[in-house]
Structure 1
Amino acid sequence: MARQIPAQNLICPLDQKPLQQEGNSLRCESGHSFDIARQGYVNLLPVQKKRSKDPGDSKEMIIARQNFLSAGLYQPVSEHLNQLVKHLQPTQRSCIIDAGCGEGYYLDRLEQMLNEQTPEAEHNLIGLDISKWAVQAAAKRNKNISWMVGTNAQIPVQSESTDIIICMFGFYDLERMAEKLKPGGLVILAEAGSEHLIELRELIYSEVRRTPLPDLSDALAEQFHLVKEERLTFNPDTLDAQQIQDLMVMTPHLYRASYEGKQQAQSLTELKITADVVFRVLQKNG
């Protein structure tokens, strides 16, 4: 039985020609072929696009994030995203890309919401991440979604074939995203606010920086306009010792913290944290 990649708008990462499924592979007219893994995903990350042998989040980071998110600690973030899409999303079939999908938590829950809202629409959902460990984990979640290893710097879909691109706490390139969006298409960015995980940061750093959000003025002047900006702040359930360690491992804080800070985090048996997330919705001009 052939393994399926539902998306019909994929392109070859080597020559940008359309990909068609043949058996358990995706092929372009130039003869480039990409096998669909037994887990149900495809690797569309060319070797020359890799900056390391194993780019993206490590296997340990993905396991930690799976454990943390599966406990529902960031469920309000998922629900806020779903409500944003629900109010923006037309009822007909649409293409939605999660650029930097990680282990698939947010896109899986979004697909479930859309399926309940408009089961007849058969939306085209694509999850993309540069980490093969992330995509392998995501592919086990939901077979209705097209999962692939790839880079946000070269999203492997046809130009102007996408309705919504979401990016949850990840790297984004708005110029490249604009190429893939239909006129009037949307980008939804979820980014850490200044108070995000402030309790943990004060514990592990000698000096806490409240870095402002990236400035989008260039993109807003040329390709997009801002539809809305919303801030979500909440306090998840108190973390236990294992969840504290999972939070450290799944974020860059493990690598940035001082030795003393890591030791303090490891000694904790519980921790109350603040989640502070800013959502920005941009619409492509035209």
Structure 2
Amino acid sequence: MSFLCPLCHAPLQAQDKHYRCPQGHQFDQAKEGYVNLLPVQHKRSRDPGDSSEMMQARRAFLDAGHYQPLRDRITALLKTHLPQPAQALLDIGCGEGYYTHAFAEVICSRGGEAFGLDVAKVAIRYAAKRYRNATFCVASSHRLPFADALFDAVVRIYAPCKAQELARVVKSGGWTITATPGPRHLVQLKGLIYDEVKLHEPGKEQLDGFTLVESISLGYEMQLAGSEAVALLQMTPFAWRARPEVWEQLAAAEAFSCETDFCISLWRRD
């Protein structure tokens, strides 16, 4: 299976170390094995997505297993609902591949392929270099470079994506699994940053073309070392609001207790 050209939407053919469409648009494969399908005209900034420092913090935190229960729960849903055999799975906003490679084990065991997509080039480079059981690309989640009705399942953890694009690429009867923050997610960390902590509003997402089959709440308490708390803060969207003394307080802490609260939704394509 190949990609679609992000410029003309024609199929890309793999040729040696690059991908090429009938219109002559060419995209080189990096030495790590990924392909960059994010043309400059589709970028909102020079280097969109997370920085190298954020990726390193995310990898250290995830490798320590703090979000493994989330990965395990989604993997279990895939094992239950993916068909046998299966064709393909996509992880949107895959970051450095921590979740993707676990999902890939499920789809590959059923004869299919796994793909990871992220707008951050540095994240995809990390992922492709480390995990070989999935194919990774730099691309926009709002312009998925894949054919219609290709995927048996799409996973979207915190990542944005237009509902129309999800409906386009997921097979009839296929699945989309989303994970979003629950009301109390990281509330203790937010308490160090904001004078008034506002809880996340419960998810009210509607995906046109899909039926919500199951909603799952997953929450537990993490016991973090100071360095792990710093890494967690660095990988959150409210890191830029943290004052210097907050970073120093976390770095000096022997232990930091923090809640997780995830909302996992299972959607079936109509």
Q: If the TM-score is normalised by the length of the shorter chain, which range does it land in? A: over 0.9
In structure 2, what is the Cα distance between the partners aligned to 1:37 and 1:99?
20
Task: Report if aligned partners of 1:204, 1:265 keep a CA contact under 8 Å in 2.
Answer: no
In structure 2, what is the Cα distance between the partners aligned to 1:193 and 1:227?
18
Aligned to 1:231: 217
Aligned to 1:177: 166
Q: Which amino acid aligns with 1:74?
A: Y
Are 2:94 and 1:101 aligned?
yes
In structure 1, what is the Cα distance between the partners aligned to 2:53 and 2:77?
31
**Paired residue secondary structure (1:66):** helix
Pair 206,198 (structure 1): closer, same or farther in 2 beyond 3 Å: same
Given the alignment, which residue of 53, 56, 60 partners 1:67? 60
**Paired residue secondary structure (1:152):** coil
Give me the CA root mean square deviation: 1.5
In structure 1, what is the Cα distance between the partners aligned to 2:28 and 2:144?
18
Q: Which amino acid aligns with 1:234?
A: Y
Q: Which amino acid aligns with 1:123?
A: G
Question: CA offset at residue 179 of structure 1?
Answer: 1.1
Are 2:237 and 1:248 aligned?
no
**Paired residue secondary structure (1:34):** strand
Give the stretch that moved more between structures: 247-256 or 125-134: 247-256
Given the alignment, which residue of 134, 138, 148 partners 1:145? 134
Task: Report if aligned partners of 2:227, 2:250 keep a CA contact under 8 Å in 1.
Answer: no
Task: Report if aligned partners of 1:203, 1:264 keep a CA contact under 8 Å in 2.
Answer: no
Q: For residues 143-222 of structure 1, what are the structure 2 equivalents within 5 Å?
A: 143-217=132-206, 219=207, 222=208
Question: CA offset at residue 195 of structure 1?
Answer: 0.9
Task: Report if aligned partners of 1:204, 1:260 keep a CA contact under 8 Å in 2.
Answer: no
Task: Report if aligned partners of 1:205, 1:261 keep a CA contact under 8 Å in 2.
Answer: no
Task: Report if aligned partners of 2:212, 2:268 keep a CA contact under 8 Å in 1.
Answer: yes
Q: State the Cα deviation string for residues 88-119 of structure 1 (Å, max 9, x = none).
A: 1111132110010000000112223445xx3x
Question: CA offset at residue 161 of structure 1?
Answer: 1.2
In structure 2, what is the Cα distance between the partners aligned to 1:264 and 1:153?
38
Q: State the Cα deviation string for residues 140-162 of structure 1 (Å, max 9, x = none).
A: 22222110000110010011111
Pair 160,113 (structure 1): closer, same or farther in 2 beyond 3 Å: closer
In structure 2, what is the Cα distance between the partners aligned to 1:36 and 1:267?
43
Write out the 4+ residue segments of structure 1 that deviate beyond 2 Å after TM superposition: 112-115, 213-217, 256-269
Q: For residues 33-44 of structure 1, what are the structure 2 equivalents within 5 Å?
A: 33-44=26-37
Question: CA offset at residue 267 of structure 1?
Answer: 4.1
Q: State the Cα deviation string for residues 169-200 of structure 1 (Å, max 9, x = none).
A: 22222121111111122110011111111111
In structure 2, what is the Cα distance between the partners aligned to 1:9 and 1:26?
9
Aligned to 2:255: 270
Q: State the Cα deviation string for residues 66-106 of structure 1 (Å, max 9, x = none).
A: 00000111111110010011111111132110010000000
Identity of aligned pairs, percent? 35
Aligned residues: 270
**Paired residue secondary structure (1:153):** coil
Aligned to 1:20: 13
Aligned to 1:85: 78
Given the alignment, which residue of 6, 24, 29 partners 1:31? 24
Where does the alignment leave 5 or more consecutive residues of structure 2 unmatched? Answer: none
In structure 1, what is the Cα distance between the partners aligned to 2:198 and 2:235?
20
Pair 136,59 (structure 1): closer, same or farther in 2 beyond 3 Å: same
